[in-house]
Amino acid sequence: MLKVLLVAVSLSVFITTPSFGMSKENCGTDCKKCHTLSSKEAAELMKPTGASVLSVKESPSRGLFELLVQKDNQKAVIFIDYGKKHLIQGMMVNLAKLEAVSSHKQELPQQKQPTFVDVKSIPVKNAVIMGNPKGSKKLYVFTDPDCPYCRKGHVELKKLAKIAPDVAIHVMLYPLPMHPGAYDKSRSVLESMSHDLLDKAFEGKEIPKPTKESSKKAIDENIKFANANGISGTPTMVMPNGKVEVGMRDAETLKKMLEGK
């Protein structure tokens, strides 16, 4: 459901943009006759993101190009409108079946949908701990400072820390490839281990640039663990017993979940 909502937000922005449209009269049904995007042109458009373009195809939905991109050894699909003015992130969903659709389905890594992970294998040395570090209940949250849902979720985690004094919240920074600035923000937070910097990152405020190679190694370890365990979206929570919960809950609900209610 989280990913469906991401698409809804992305598409709502796109559809209300003045440049949206089929743009050419008498376009007919073969969009490729009027609208093209070469790999070279796509690479130029993607330069500001730092991602490399692996492939360009027509998307399942008319009016969009679908790009398979790679950044920091992660592959993802993004969309560019025919006007070549806007980038759209997220997945496309068939409304009739509520299933993800993609022109690059075969090229994307087929990740398993996790239900449980071994909490002992989580690289907690790379976590920023909110709440009570010595708490008997441990919650692990894979989150991205530039993910809008993670930003809302971070507010709930701060509330949880206040109402559940026996919970150690392990914030596992997991920058997604579609958020080019999140990688360095995550590194900077880990270098400082500062809650103030963590809050600023999730508030969208400017924070210092990273300077230590060790932080790169730490974030890469988080990414490697997430990829190996099928965690592909944020926020994703791992409960104390290893159960994976995709998405975020409000603080009161999280407290009850951690109490087994």
Helix (H, G, I), strand (E, B) or coil at 17: coil
Residue 95 lies in a domain: yes
User: Do 241 and 184 reside in the same domain of the chain?
Assistant: yes
User: Do 49 and 127 reside in the same domain of the chain?
Assistant: no
User: Do 130 and 252 reside in the same domain of the chain?
Assistant: yes
186: domain CATH number is 3.40.30.10
Of 168, 184, 255, 258, whose CA–CA distance to 220 is shortest?
A: 184
Question: Residue for token digits 């490729």?
Answer: 32
CA 179 to chain centre: 7
Structural domain of 133: 119-258
User: Do 224 and 252 reside in the same domain of the chain?
Assistant: yes
Give the mean pLDDT of 181-185: 95
Structure confidence by residue, pLDDT tens digits, 46-82: 999 888 999 999 999 889 999 999 887 778 889 999 9
Domain count, the chain: 2
Gap between the Cα atoms of 79 and 68, Å rounded: 9
User: Do 137 and 243 reside in the same domain of the chain?
Assistant: yes
User: Do 129 and 229 reside in the same domain of the chain?
Assistant: yes
What DSSP designation does 124 have? G
Residue 200: band (very low, low, confident or very high) from pLDDT cuts 50, 70, 90 = very high
Question: Residue for token digits 């009269």?
Answer: 25
Structure confidence by residue, pLDDT tens digits, 111-164: 556 789 999 999 999 999 999 999 999 999 999 999 989 999 999 999 999 999
User: Do 132 and 199 reside in the same domain of the chain?
Assistant: yes
Residue type, 7: V
User: Do 66 and 24 reside in the same domain of the chain?
Assistant: yes
User: Do 26 and 123 reside in the same domain of the chain?
Assistant: no
Residue 38 lies in a domain: yes
User: Do 130 and 234 reside in the same domain of the chain?
Assistant: yes
86: domain CATH number is 3.10.450.70
Of 5-14, 84-93, 125-134, 244-253, where does the model show the most confidence?
125-134
Structure confidence by residue, pLDDT tens digits, 249-261: 999 999 999 998 7
Residue 111 lies in a domain: no
